[in-house]
Chains A and B, each alone.
Chain A
Amino acid sequence: MVLFSLAWHSLKNRKLTTGLTVISIALSVALLVGVEHVRIGARDSFANTISQTDLIVGARGGSLQLLLYSVFHIGSATNNVQYTSYEHFKNHPAVAWTIPYSLGDSHRGFRVVGTTEDFYTHYRYRHDRKIEVSEGHSPDGPFDVVLGSDVARTLKYKIGDRIVVTHGISQGLGLLQHDDKPFHVTGILARTATPVDRSLYVSLYGIEAMHMDWADGGPPLPGEETPASKIRKEDLKIKQITAFLLRSKSRIDTLRLQREINTFEDEPLMAIIPGVALAELWNTIGYAEEALTVVTFFVLVVGLLGMLVSLYTSLNERRREMAILRALGAGPRKVIFLLVLESFLLSLAGTVFGIAVVYSGAFLSQPIVERRFGLFIPITAPTPTGYVYLCTVIAAGLLIGFVPAVKAYRNALADGLSIRV
């Protein structure tokens, strides 16, 4: 195909402008596809902040509130769940496992979560990742605490350190310190890039032990508290928890259980499906991604306009070339085709190069981004939207090629065989 070889040689002859044009299109494409990848990664990471949990159960209230305090440890519960109710559902035949959460205390701004060994066994995030204790071991005795990785890093704690938990949620030191019952660090969790990293984990017994002898929401008078050394697990009786996560044995059970929990007669409870609630939450905060997409589209438009400008400005110096081709029998359609082919090749090369940039960039930065930002960027084939973007770029390149092509055709008609330099 002679025109193909002409277009190729012509582009090769103008290496600098060709190179710059391809790079500018490639960067636009890389940005467009990259943002799409990050968007999907962000949505997926967010939707999988918690995985494999079918229901989150708490006291009746707002579903968003329940999601926020149970998964993100933001805000607090208005009411607790009786331990008997928890046990009822824990032993329910349709339930595979449960993870109880007892919330309400903090340590220097980080939440303290009372839970059980179930948390370390069953908790999953990002589809199928489980909680791992990178150093030490999970809490054993009532005064053992395990730190989320952010907590350990920010506060520079290590195994064996003694820490004091604050009653209630406060930044820094609160009014009421559980300083009579210090905890000691027995383990540090591996990084998950989820809110898990920003919490401290004790056993349910630990929570109960801290609040021993408390009455009417206030601490016991000084001297009346039971010394920590005298508290044994066996003496502690867990009366209530804040929420629990639940995995049912089958999909059908999930909806049945949700209904059963929502209409539970002993206590006003509510159960939410985390996937649905997370998606709703994402939609309310996800408008930023739309803004990002719009911006990248503008970047793409600028890239394509750059191509238009470079093709258009090269036309004057190529008038001679066009007249020669005309004299050799190339009709106007061939001249137009040649220029459209050039812009097509430019946008195609830009697109291919851009995709290469995105994938190599994603490949290189994936571990870093995941570690630093908790964002898992999937390296997968472009999404349907991604393909639409790529086709749009190539089609736009093709269409834009007609502008200089038609101009060249007009030049060729006006010039005839006289050559203007």
Chain B
Amino acid sequence: MEGASPSAAERAAGIPFMPSSISVKSAVCLQDVRFSYRKNRPVLDIPTLTIGQGESVFVYGPSGSGKTTLLGLLAGILRADSGSIQALGHDLSRMSSSQRDHFRGSHIGYIFQMFNLIPYLTVEENIGLPCRLDSARRQRLGGTPLHQAVIQVAGRLGIESLLKENVVNLSVGQQQRVAAARSLIGTPWLVIADEPTSALDSDHRERFVELLFENCRTAGSTLIFVSHDRSLMHLFTRSVSLPELNRVH
């Protein structure tokens, strides 16, 4: 239905990685990004943030420090007031909203804090949904039938036995694995996780993060993991403190 120019989608889909002018290895690069929901009430002001291709970055900060806003900008849901957000060789801040929707659909996997799943679809249907909503994402399966791809990714997250389940019957931990599987299907280039472990107990937390790491590594996806809980920080090679980065206080 999306009547967006297919050229944008094709460009986005066809070019796996294009070196940006700022850093050859960067996956995401923010420059002087400012954002406010209301005039004269800035929420974010980030001079520079660069995340390398394939990197797993832990972004932390207390509630209200603009974490979700930052993710909204990275995912192209929100548009920066000024500055540039380079992602995969494209400047998100110069794309139209439907181009950004396409970009998100084909290149980004997103995991919410909780309630990740569409309640009236089965586990299998939930996992396959990104590929059904975006044709470019589906093409990235490389000819593997969707059904097969769902089984593969579910297998990697240890939930292949749940595929026919109704999502409302799952535990929170199972739900988050399904959400992870959905974000990973079609090997997106960037996986964004917004406090995905906050509803899990500590044992499950580490296990979940490790699974996510493993899968992102296999797929070559960049992972941006946001949390206010620094107990997971040690699992990551790199961490960014948003309050330190953000010039708005």
Contacts and interface: CB of A to CB of B under 8 A. Distances in A.
Interface of A: 2-3, 6, 9-10, 12-13, 320-321, 323-334, 337, 416-419, 421
A333 B121 contact: no
A329 B119 CA distance: 18
A215 B88 CA distance: 116
Contact of B75 (A6, A12, A13, A417): A417
A334 B102 CA distance: 12
Contact of B133 (A12, A321, A329, A418): A329
Closest 8 CB pairs of A and B: A329-B105, A13-B120, A331-B101, A2-B132, A327-B110, A9-B120, A416-B72, A329-B134
A326 B121 contact: no
A277 B248 CA distance: 87
Contacts of B71: 417
A327 B112 contact: yes
Given A327-B104, A328-B110, A416-B72, A9 B121 contact: yes
Contact of A328 (B4, B120, B129): B129
Given A2-B133, A329-B133, A421-B115, A10 B101 contact: no
A320 B2 contact: no
Most buried by A among B4, B72, B113, B120: B120
B1 A337 contact: yes
Contact of B1 (A3, A320, A329): A3
Contact of B105 (A12, A320, A328): A328
A17 to B, nearest CB: 13
Contacts of A324: 112, 115-118
Contacts of A9: 120-121, 125
A7 to B, nearest CB: 10
Contact of A330 (B69, B101, B113, B115): B101
Given A2-B132, A327-B75, A333 B98 contact: yes
Contacts of A332: 97, 101
A330 B132 contact: no
Nearest to A332: B97
Contacts of B98: 331, 333
Given A9-B121, A12-B120, A328 B133 contact: yes
7 contacts: A324-B117, A324-B118, A327-B77, A329-B133, A417-B194, A419-B112, A419-B115
Contacts of B177: none
Contacts of A419: 112-115
Contacts of B77: 326-327, 416-417
Nearest to A337: B1
Contacts of B133: 2, 325, 328-330, 334
B233 interface: no
A366 B106 CA distance: 59
